Amino acid sequence: MPTYTPPTKDMQFILHDVLEVSAMQVPGYDELDRDFTAAVLEEAGKIASDVLAPLNVVGDRQGCTLENGVVRTPDGFKEAFDTLREGGWTALDCDPEYGGQGLPYLISTAVGEMFSSANMAFNMYPGLTHGAYNTIQAHGSEAQKRTYLPKMVTCEWGGTMNLTEPHCGTDLGLIRTKAEPAEDGTYRISGQKIWISAGEHDMCENIIHLVLAKLPDAPEGTKGISLFIVPKFLVNEDGSLGARNALSCGGLEQKMGIHGNATCVMNYDGATGFLVGEPHKGMRAMFTMMNEARLGVGLQGYAQGEVAYQNALGFALDRLQGRDVTGTQAPDKPADPIIVHPDVRRNLMDQKAFVEGARAFTFWGASLLDAGHRAGDAQAEQMVSLMTPVIKGFLTDKGFETTVLAQQTLGGSGFTREWGLEQFVRDARITMIYEGTNGIQALDLVGRKLAQNGGKAIMAFFEMIKGYIKENSGQDPAFDAQFLDPLKAASKDLQAAGMYFMQNGMKNPNNALSGSYDFMHLFGHVCLGLMWARMARAARKALDSGTTDTAFHEAKIATGRHYMTRHLPMTATHLARIEAGGDTVMALAPEQFASAAG
Amino acid sequence: MPTYTPPTKDMQFILHDVLEVSAMQVPGYDELDRDFTAAVLEEAGKIASDVLAPLNVVGDRQGCTLENGVVRTPDGFKEAFDTLREGGWTALDCDPEYGGQGLPYLISTAVGEMFSSANMAFNMYPGLTHGAYNTIQAHGSEAQKRTYLPKMVTCEWGGTMNLTEPHCGTDLGLIRTKAEPAEDGTYRISGQKIWISAGEHDMCENIIHLVLAKLPDAPEGTKGISLFIVPKFLVNEDGSLGARNALSCGGLEQKMGIHGNATCVMNYDGATGFLVGEPHKGMRAMFTMMNEARLGVGLQGYAQGEVAYQNALGFALDRLQGRDVTGTQAPDKPADPIIVHPDVRRNLMDQKAFVEGARAFTFWGASLLDAGHRAGDAQAEQMVSLMTPVIKGFLTDKGFETTVLAQQTLGGSGFTREWGLEQFVRDARITMIYEGTNGIQALDLVGRKLAQNGGKAIMAFFEMIKGYIKENSGQDPAFDAQFLDPLKAASKDLQAAGMYFMQNGMKNPNNALSGSYDFMHLFGHVCLGLMWARMARAARKALDSGTTDTAFHEAKIATGRHYMTRHLPMTATHLARIEAGGDTVMALAPEQFASAAG
């Protein structure tokens, strides 16, 4: 069975040596000193490795079951949820006014990574509740907040997001779920929603559904969508649970992975709903919480990569097979551990370089989100908004790839259920799809974010990279050559790609949109290149100032160099693909795609 | 449920317009005219789509079960196997002396692709039997051939390959299974083998196991391994079945995919075995059949990509979501089919360009194998031996990637079991692992094949590319610019990589082996680039000579251009990674890999 070890040392390094969080001008960050974050991470790490990780396989094997409208979660899930609730882990970054601990989002990001690595399917239950909490907190009325938030902060009540219907996922303008106004100011919600994660289960006494629906007078398309609170049990004036609402789980989806999470068909049969915010403004409400939700999915992607890497590494250190080509390493054993073989190392280094870079990138993104929300830093908010599709799309593509690489490290064992690597692959796969497929992320990036406010955000991004290079060059020739030069080249590729879009996207949007996916990846590489430069610089600083943990800091620099020499060159290929435009992509008539058959 | 349409038109194009098989100087190829291959492919295609494809989901859901030593295959598998047997499909390229049809391997490759696309787990049963047949045919005594081959040709008897043991897979020098000589000239085989595909099942009246074991006087390592025939039922003089041999299935492996194939733990408890060939020469016997087996796995990889692509395409043509950014395409419908969106097309074109290129590459490889075996063409044999690890490693990596791309085309539906795409992903995953992991393929390529005979094979490869470019340039400026120039550039990258290995691999083999995986991919891209040039040329020729099927041939050229502009540029990145050498790959001490934790 796979194991999980919390990467607390690496997290501390990123928080304090790289981001230097306690010096950041963000309210609440001054309290984030080394000792405090160490204590939080250690406690969270224990829950992750001791409580959640052992249930990961259980969840996969048992899955969820639906009987007479009741969904049962796998053995041990409820007890684990109680442990989370009791420790206050569901309330970390929630508003103290509703019982939250008021910590920065950055801290709940670090904790969330550990919980996701340990048991992604499980962590979706509190994760979705948190998403619903955010939405009500941002858009609900005072009364709604007082009614629902305290119980959602503690996860006594769960929360869900109901967007998709059988005939529409991405194109929500097509939704058919109806909301009929009742005389008491509430609404009767009718329709079917599908793929509702945590839509029904036995771990919370109530579930607060957020449902997109159309009012009778709704304009066509996405401009006619409203958002409703539709609780499983109606809530009485005194906060106690009232009548069962007219909604039910009509089925559970059979899927490739995340079996421990109940993916529900939800039927609303005239259920009582409460409008959130203004009529027809439901999409806007959804969008304001999307940045955080998408960051959270990017995190899931590399978190699965992390735990897969850990288990691949363990195997590579133990498994004896073949001899080191440069000379026997373990003469007392029948063979050397496979970590001596260059291609096994290449594989492990690829995994390590991605996961650590992704962690730094995500933590940085979380800190920008905090700066936006807590310090009202508009530029930070703009920057993180630009990078959100990159964090979601790039980190989940690469996170999935990392689980596949890790599985490969185990050879045949990687394909067996016994070793558990295959579960990480199956679970990670969903992150590329939900919360907007990665193709949609790329479209959001190139079709919306790039051009927003006259391209202000991307300009600021380039300025930031330029500023970083300028500020840090000329002090250490090795650092300049190994990190700044490749970063400069990659950033130049990104600029050239942006330029191509400007010059050719106007003429024909297909020229830009055919390259959107490559642009998202190109952007991701530049961001990870930046993070590796920052990490290498911080590691060098630690070494120069006499750290005793030289092995860790030297490994950082070597791993960073691995990324710069072996992954960053991908930017050239992405640029070549982008500059190929829409020509071949759009060349065929639909019927020509199938021409191979017949 | 997914569907499968045999790509017979594309196969005919490759056989006759690209390879021009009936003009090749290979015995038996003169009979492969258009009508003959059309008839074979059509009949095989019917079996694939009507008999095998509907059982693919059944096999996945039911899997195999072991009860009291008996393995039951999924419902319908036995009947399907009977259909194959009755039609002579298991005997296509087998020796007529033993009841085979004596057709070229190329034809059984084309048929094998269809059967693998339709039901990979099923097709492994006849596939493994064929592998065992090959081995006995090449290395068995006359008596052994007469005893076993006729029944294996018809698949009345199945066959297996028993290599792996719990402590050794790649490093077969470590095997512990013993063969004790008995007084009657037979051997007593004792030991445990794992991951034995089709090791036990209910579809054949006997199973002929080929088992690697060590004689008491065996030298250490791989030079002390012998090969034995160990039948499930001993065979009497008159060919009838005799006593049950002392072997049994001790368990079935639970695995990520190919559930329809029984992956067995096989226990040999003093079972009677018959030595194949000379003592201690078992590895050599295994190796002679490996080229074909590895070609067969490469084929499985892209065959899964093909069927996944077909189903992704079907979804993209049907699913209505969003509007074409350049103008509504289906005004009478609530939305346009998603195939109008550039990123969906980019994804589909990537799938199509890979699968069609891979098919041509594999067919070409099969024709070289035929030229080697049937015409004694040593250069062809050398060439296919060089390319075998590329076909296996590159086509399975990319084939798996293609199933993932196809799954992505379906968005959330791709993650559900209902649509079946996720099964293609899970099934395709094993092809990167078995028959030598892809890392081992890369090692075989760079560590063995490149240097063999003083590098004669790779020199011949470069000469061949050079010759092709020279022969075909200067006649059509568009073709030169779109196909020959990129091919030339990619081939230059491959040469530079070879040069780097020569100059740096001597000093330190880690410098070469750290780049072996990238070299395998670089090589694969050059091969697919060559195949696309040949296909485009053939398509142009057909267009110029007035083909009525312009849509097909124009699509070929456009798809080829897609590959040349958007995939071939990867060679530059692979070269950059190769030229980075072993520096960062080998930088860390084993304990530094885990330094993120703690």
How confident is the model over A540-589, as pLDDT tens digits? Answer: 999 999 999 999 999 999 999 999 999 999 999 999 999 999 999 999 99
**pLDDT number for residue A23:** 95
Q: What is the DSSP string of B73-125?
A: PPTTHHHHHHHHHHTTTTSTTS-GGGT-----HHHHHHHHHHHHHH-HHHHHH
The DSSP bridge pattern shows strands A233-235 and A241-244 to be: antiparallel
Q: Say how far apart CA B41 and CA A598 lie, in whole Å.
A: 11
Task: Place A595 in a pLDDT band, splitting at 50, 70 and 90.
Answer: low
Tokens of A20: 């230097």
Instruction: Inform me whether the pLDDT recorded for B595 exceeds 80.
Output: no
**Residue A105 to residue A27: CA distance in whole angstroms:** 12
Q: Is the ipTM of this complex over 0.95?
A: yes
Residue A406's pLDDT band (boundaries 50, 70, 90)? very high
Contact A347 B439 (CB under 8 A): yes
Which residue numbers of B are catalytic?
A: 435
- For residues B132 and B140, give the distance between their C-alpha atoms in angstroms, rounded to a whole number: 11
pLDDT in tens, B183-199: 999 999 999 999 999 99
Catalytic residue of the set A292, A356, A401, A435: A435
pLDDT for residue B598 is more than 80: no
Work out the pLDDT band at B505, boundaries 50, 70, 90. confident
Are the C-beta atoms of A436 and A392 separated by less than 8 Å?
yes
* Ramachandran region, residue A186 (left: φ > 0; alpha: ψ -120 to 50; beta: rest): beta
CA-to-CA distance for B241 and B249, rounded, in angstroms?
A: 19
pLDDT at B507: 85
Whether residue B583 and residue A577 make contact (CB cut-off 8 A), yes or no, is: no
Residue A520 · residue A394 · CB < 8 Å: yes
Distance from CA of B576 to the nearest CA of A (A): 7
Dist. CA B324–CA A431, nearest whole Å: 26
Token pair belonging to B162: 């028993």
Render the burial of B537-547: b for 16+ CB within 10 Å, e for the rest.
bbbbebbeeee
pLDDT at A4 over 80: yes
Chain A closest-CA separation from residue B238 CA (Å) = 40
> Which residue out of A345, A398, A446 would a mutagenesis test of the B interface target, given it has the greatest number of B Cβ atoms within 10 Å?
A345
The structure tokens listed for B249 are 């299935």
Arithmetic mean of pLDDT, B271-287: 94
Helix axes B378-409, B342-375, angle to 10 degrees: 160
Who's near B535: CB < 8 A, 6+ residues apart? B13, B14, B18, B356, B357, B360, B556, B560
Distances (CA, A) of B25 to A237, B29, B103, B360, B375: 89, 7, 15, 19, 8
Helix axes A342-375, A516-544, angle to 10 degrees: 90
Mean pLDDT of B88-112: 97
Contact call for residues B297 and B440 (beta carbons, < 8 A): no
Read off the pLDDT of each residue in A495-505 and give the average, rounded to a whole number.
95
* pLDDT at residue B569 tops 70: yes
* Token couple for B26: 């290979």
Residue tagged 């119980």 (tokens):
A151
Which one of B257, B577, B592 has the shortest CB-CB distance to A555?
B592
Flag whether pLDDT at B180 surpasses 80.
yes
**Which residues 6+ apart lie within 8 Å of A83 measured at CB?**
A47, A51
- Give the span between the Cα atoms of B91 and B514, in whole angstroms: 42
d(CA A37, CA A570): 35
- Confidence (pLDDT) at B291: 78
CA distance B61 to A438: 29
Q: Which residues of A touch B517 (CB under 8 A)?
A: 343, 346-347
DSSP one-letter string for B211-277:
EEEB-TTPPSGGGGBEEEEEESEEE-TTS-EEEEPSEEEEEE--BSS-TTS-EEEEEEEEEEEEEES
> What SS3 state is found at B182?
coil
B554 and A592 in contact by Cβ < 8 A?
A: yes
pLDDT tens column, A208-236: 999 999 999 999 998 999 999 999 999 99
DSSP letter at A218?
Answer: P
Question: Please, are residues B196 and B71 in contact by the beta-carbon 8 Å criterion?
Answer: no
Q: Do A257 and B415 touch (CB under 8 A)?
A: yes
Q: Where residue B498 falls among pLDDT bands split at 50, 70, 90?
A: very high
Nearest by CB: A411 against B320, B437, B570: B437
Beta strands of A127-173 (E only): which ranges? 157-162
Res A292: pLDDT: 83
Cβ neighbours for B570, distance < 8 A, ≥ 6 positions apart:
A573, B521, B522, B525
Cβ pair B342:A9 closer than 8 A: no
Q: Give the pair of three-digit tokens for residue B427.
A: 């099934």
pLDDT classification of B356: cutoffs 50, 70, 90? very high
Q: Which has the minimum average pLDDT: A281-290, A368-377, A465-474, B479-488?
A: A281-290
CB contacts of A580 in chain B (<8 Å) are 565-566
Contacts for A374 with CB less than 8 Å, ≥ 6 apart: A26, A27, A28, A104
Per-residue pLDDT tens digits for B23-68: 999 999 999 999 999 999 999 999 999 999 999 999 999 999 999 9
* Average pLDDT for chain B: 96
> Over 90: is that where the pLDDT of B278 sits?
yes
Q: What residue type is A183 in one-letter code?
A: E
Between A24 and B291, residue with greater pLDDT: A24
Phi-psi region of A133 (alpha: psi -120 to 50; beta: other; left: phi over 0): alpha
Q: Which residues of B touch A358 (CB under 8 A)?
A: none
Residue found by looking up tokens 């124009």 in the block: B554
Compute the distance between CA of residue A372 and CA of residue B427 in angstroms, rounded to an integer. 45
Q: Which residues of B touch A592 (CB under 8 A)?
A: 551-552, 554-555, 558
Chains A–B, number of C-beta pairs less than 8 Å apart: 316
Q: From chain A, pick out residues whose CB is under 8 angstroms from the CB of B552.
A: 592, 595
Tell me B330's DSSP state: -
Q: Residue B318, exposed/middle/buried by CB under 10 A (0-12, 13-18, 19+)?
A: exposed
Give the chain B residue nearest A319 (alpha carbons).
Answer: B167
- Out of B334, B356, B590, whose CB is closest to A596? B356
Q: What is the mean pLDDT of residues B91-95?
A: 96
Nearest to A411 among B170, B345, B442 (CB): B170
Does residue B597 carry a pLDDT above 80? no
User: In Å, how far is A86's CA from the nearest CA of chain B?
Assistant: 26
Q: Which residues of A touch B306 (CB under 8 A)?
A: 596
- Residue A339 near residue B593, CB atoms below 8 Å: yes
pLDDT band, residue A290 (cuts 50/70/90): confident
Verify whether the Cβ–Cβ distance B595 to A355 is below 8 Å. Answer: no
Q: Minimal Cα–Cα distance from B142 to chain A, Å? A: 35
A562 contacts in B (CB within 8 Å)?
584-585, 587
Mean pLDDT of B443-469: 95
User: Given this model, what pLDDT does residue B596 score?
Assistant: 58
pLDDT in tens, A327-350: 999 999 999 999 999 999 999 999
Task: Choose among B5, B573, B577: nearest Cβ to A597.
Answer: B5
Which two structure tokens, joined as six digits, stand for B310? 């077909």
Partner residue facing A417 (CB), from B167, B255, B555: B255
Nearest chain B residue to A439 by CA: give it.
B343
pLDDT band with cut points at 50, 70 and 90 for residue A507: confident
> How many CA atoms lie within 13 Å of B132's alpha carbon, on the beta-carbon side?
37
Residue B184 phi, psi dihedral angles, 5° rounding:
-90, 10
Question: How far off is chain A from B323, nearest CA to CA, in Å?
Answer: 9
Which residue is it, tokens 């193709």? A439
Chain B hits for A521, Cβ within 8 Å: none
CB–CB of A335 and B408 under 8 A?
Answer: no
- The set of residues, in sequence order, having a beta carbon less than 8 Å from that of A142 and lying 6+ positions away, is none
Distance CA B329, CA B336 (A): 6
pLDDT band at A505 (very low <50, low <70, confident <90, very high): confident
A10 contacts B596? CB cut-off 8 A? yes
Rounded CA-CA distance A30/A52 in Å is 31
Distance from CA of A255 to the nearest CA of B (A): 4
